[in-house]
């Protein structure tokens, strides 16, 4: 149990996917103008990451990795060069599936999160998480927890930037620094604050 | 340069920043992005009249992903150490918004030769920002430029120290923010707030 809590703390605070690995910056910068939309995107990312991380883990473990096809008597085949294309298709398919299920069973949630779901397919943090969990050799439970933790880290980062940017409206920023330039500097400061967590472990 | 994809439209910095602690990784990344972007633009431009509109995104994605796999395999074969350093970030070119963005916005409407030039131009514009960020981070973080020590030993003896913050992630955010500021001040563009 403690091991899993450690993975969550690690992926949320110490190795935050956005602030330390810079993944998912595109949507991070464009969506963080309003607090409500950033909460919506954050929740959608948590949701999709918790599903795609274990799915991609299973595909890698039983289809792609070296010796993974031994259950079919094809142990000598190594398909790991197909990782990128398979992972991105799984993510795209999963996002589509989630979108349809949500539309069918929870229209209210669909109205709120629906517009963010297509954006998520090309969000680097989703593909990045899948690639990281292969690189770090996580098992099924660890990858699920890691996926959830990364999503939570993204949520935390995007909501904090959105709230800070809301305050910035009242301040007098030089005209060419407005918008993205200022957002980058603010992200730098938030990221610096997160560095303070480094070294924590249970 | 006036329409630089990073500093004006802020696209594709996802995979860009993590590998900019040193110039040599940034240069290799730039070459990979330029190659993938120009080839994908040409391929998609050749296919543009045969792609059904409904499934165009997934077709563009598969073209790009295949090219990234080729780039990854080439790097593994000829520059193994470099491919270890770039790690997962090379794979993340797939989700780089610039590549998909140019395919969608330009290659779908224009002839292959124009698309090739557009791909190269955007790739180089992207690369120039990467290399600029890497230049400052390496200079202040390690005291060197492209692996060669430029800050003399006497200065270190005189109490100068490398700035560790530059190597960590906040350094990249600050430098990119400042570059965006300088570039926008020069071209005179600005956002609403």
Nearest to residue A12, comparing CAs of A199, A179, A187, A197?
A197
pLDDT tens for B139-183 read 887 777 776 777 767 677 676 777 777 777 788 888 888 888 887
Q: Which candidate, A3, A4, A12, A1, places its Cα nearest to that of A198?
A: A12
Q: Give a yes or no: residue A6 inside a domain.
A: no
pLDDT of residue B11: 61
A30 falls within a domain? no
The gap from C-alpha A162 to its chain's centroid, in whole angstroms, comes to 17
B15, A189: Cβ pair inside 8 Å?
A: no
Is A79 among the domain residues?
A: yes
Each residue of B155-165: pLDDT tens digit?
776 767 777 77
A109: Cβ contacts below 8 Å, ≥ 6 apart: A102
Distance from CA of B154 to the nearest CA of A (A): 31
Of B65, B73, B173, the CB nearest to A184: B173
Residue-by-residue pLDDT tens, chain A, 202 positions = 888 888 888 888 888 887 877 777 777 777 777 788 788 888 888 888 888 899 888 888 888 777 667 776 666 777 778 888 888 888 888 888 878 887 888 787 777 766 677 777 777 788 888 888 888 888 888 899 999 999 999 899 889 888 888 888 788 877 777 777 788 888 888 888 888 887 776 6
* CA–CA distance, A175 with B107 (Å, rounded to integer): 34
Q: Which ipTM was obtained for this model?
A: 0.75
Structural domain contains residue A121: yes
Q: Tell which of B5, B74, B165, B177 to mutate to test the A interface (max A CBs under 10 Å).
A: B177
Q: Is residue A24 part of a domain?
A: no
Q: Give a yes or no: residue A17 inside a domain.
A: no
- Closest CA–CA distance from residue A177 to any residue of chain B (Å): 5
Which residue range forms the structural domain that includes residue A129?
Answer: 36-194
- Measured between beta carbons, the chain B residues lying within 8 angstroms of A178 are 190-193
pTM: 0.82
Q: Please report whether residue A69 resides in a domain.
A: yes
Encoded tokens for A174: 């030089």
| Number of domains into which chain A is organized | 1
- pLDDT in the model for residue A148: 92
Q: Which residues of B touch A29 (CB under 8 A)?
A: 10
- The answer to whether residue A5 sits within a structural domain is no
Q: Above 60 in pLDDT, residue B193?
A: no
A68-127 confidence digits (pLDDT tens): 677 766 667 777 788 888 888 888 888 888 788 878 887 877 777 666 777 777 777 888
How would residue B1 be classed by pLDDT, with cut points 50, 70 and 90? very low
Average pLDDT, chain B: 79
Which of A17, A84, A89 has the most B C-beta neighbours within 10 Å, making it the best mutation to test the interface with B? A84
Q: What are phi and psi of B91, to 5 degrees?
A: -60, -30
Sign of CA dihedral A110, A113, A119, A125: negative
Sign of the Cα pseudo-torsion (B36, B37, B39, B41, in order): positive
Per-residue b/e over B65-77, b at no fewer than 16 CB within 10 Å? bbbbbebbeebee
């Amino acid at each position: 149990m403690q091991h899993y809590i450690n993975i969550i703390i690690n992926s949320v605070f110490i190795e935050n996917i956005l602030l330390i690995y810079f993944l998912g910056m595109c949507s991070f910068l464009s969506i963080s103008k309003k607090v409500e939309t950033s909460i919506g995107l954050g929740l959608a990312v948590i949701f999709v990451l918790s599903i795609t991380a274990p799915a991609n883990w299973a595909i890698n473990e039983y289809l792609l990795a070296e010796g993974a096809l031994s259950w079919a008597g094809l142990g000598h085949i190594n398909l790991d060069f197909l990782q990128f294309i398979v992972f991105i298709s799984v993510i795209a398919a999963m996002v589509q599936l989630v979108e349809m299920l949500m539309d069918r069973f929870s229209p209210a949630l669909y109205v709120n999160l629906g517009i963010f779901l297509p954006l998520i397919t090309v969000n680097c943090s989703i593909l990045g998480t899948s690639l990281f969990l292969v690189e770090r050799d996580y098992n099924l439970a660890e990858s699920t927890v890691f996926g959830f933790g990364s999503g939570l880290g993204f949520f935390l980062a995007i909501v904090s930037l959105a709230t800070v940017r809301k305050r910035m409206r009242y301040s007098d920023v030089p005209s060419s620094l407005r918008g993205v330039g200022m957002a980058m500097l603010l992200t730098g400061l938030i990221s610096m604050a997160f560095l303070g967590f480094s070294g924590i472990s249970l | 340069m006036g329409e630089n994809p990073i500093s004006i439209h802020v696209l594709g910095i996802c995979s860009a920043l993590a590998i900019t602690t040193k110039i040599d990784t940034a240069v290799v990344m730039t070459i990979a992005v330029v190659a993938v972007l120009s080839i994908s633009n040409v391929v998609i431009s050749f296919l543009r009249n045969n792609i059904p509109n409904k499934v165009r995104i997934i077709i563009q994605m598969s073209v790009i992903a295949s090219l990234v796999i080729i780039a990854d395999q080439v790097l593994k074969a000829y520059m193994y150490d470099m491919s270890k350093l770039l790690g997962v970030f090379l794979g993340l070119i797939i989700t780089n918004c610039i590549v998909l963005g140019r395919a969608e916005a330009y290659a779908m409407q224009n002839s292959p030769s124009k698309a090739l030039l557009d791909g190269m131009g955007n790739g180089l514009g992207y690369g120039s920002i990467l290399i600029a960020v890497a230049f400052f981070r390496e200079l202040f973080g390690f005291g060197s430029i492209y692996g060669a020590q430029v800050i003399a030993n006497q200065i270190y003896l005189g109490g100068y120290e490398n700035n560790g913050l530059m190597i960590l992630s906040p350094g990249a955010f600050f430098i990119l923010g400042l570059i965006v500021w300088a570039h926008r001040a020069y071209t005179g563009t600005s956002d609403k707030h």
